[in-house]
A = this chain, B = another copy of it.
Amino acid sequence: MSAVTAQERNGLEALSPGATALLRTLDATFEGWGTATGAAPMIMPPLLPVASLAKLDFYDNFPHQAMLACALDLDRRDATPGARPSVFAPGVLEPAALGLPSAACFAVYLYHEGARLAGDTAVTVLGRCFRREEFYEGLSRLLGFHMREVVALGSREFAQAHLDRFAERIAAFGAALGLPMRKEAASDPFYDRGGQRALLQRLSPVKYEFLVDDLAIASVNVHRNFFGERCDIRLDATGEPVFTSCVAFGLERWLSVLLPRHGTWEAAVEAVLRAAGEVAGTGAIADGGSR
């Protein structure tokens, strides 16, 4: 509305009513794929303890992306009425014990910390996620964005079947939308560390991205038992750490690829609804079920 550039908006964008409708239509579609396989919709905390993220190696692997949340140190800030600061220096901030999540699934593993699962479990969440970047670009590279995830926790087979099912569905949906989408193996700083994990990653990729115009709009990720071990999440029957996998959708990125192809938000909403209907009957999701 006001005359500031994308860069001045610091990677933070408001969504118009039309863009909002498209984001919500996409989100309902992806969530519906999750619930159709038995995933439970939940809402996770919007901030996570630094100690918890550190336990997941987050600050080793993604320190450049990290955003922290902290309070003002009321004794040290300049409290001159009407001072109108544009920035608070670190010296007037309290220590930061909480982080803004960079992915929606971290909170799911942390929520299950110490759990003994009765069986294979799936959860779907919409997270507001934050990644500090060198530069920001429209809706395709944001500081703050929405990520819908469907997360599987359970046996190795369950975690893998979850990904296979969703990879098939994403490809079918992209085709129904006429998107020139390709699936590519990607590297992820997680699990790269240490010889054995690095070797395993070369033998069997842990992350595939779905790209349109070199922009990853969805990914499927298998973590083996990394989060099961770090968060002590075990299958009750075996006592073994769970295997986990997640499917992630960067919703604003879908908006950025769909708007230019359909001209208006309304046309894009119609196209998404039509494509969702087309793939709904194809069985990739309907034959699954985690509970």
* Residues of chain A at the chain B interface (Cβ within 8 Å): 1-3, 9-10, 12-17, 19-21, 23, 40-51, 54-55, 57, 59-60, 63-64, 66-74, 77, 79, 81-98, 100, 107, 111-115, 128, 130, 132, 143-144, 193
Contacts and interface: CB of A to CB of B under 8 A. Distances in A.
A3 B81 CA distance: 44
Given A40-B17, A41-B21, A45-B144, A50 B88 contact: yes
A33 to B, nearest CB: 17
B86 A50 contact: yes
Contacts of A92: 90
B130 A128 contact: no
A83 to B, nearest CB: 8
B114 A2 contact: yes
Nearest to A132: B71
A1 to B, nearest CB: 5
B81 A72 contact: no
A72 B68 contact: yes
A228 B174 CA distance: 44
A86 to B, nearest CB: 4
Contact of A2 (B13, B115, B128): B115
Contacts of A107: 14
Given A1-B114, A113-B1, A10 B59 contact: no
B63 A79 contact: yes
A95 B84 contact: no
Nearest to A70: B68
Given A63-B72, A87-B96, 19 more contacts: A1-B114, A1-B115, A2-B114, A10-B49, A12-B47, A14-B43, A14-B107, A20-B41, A45-B144, A54-B84, A63-B77, A66-B71, A68-B88, A69-B69, A69-B100, A87-B97, A88-B97, A89-B95, A90-B96
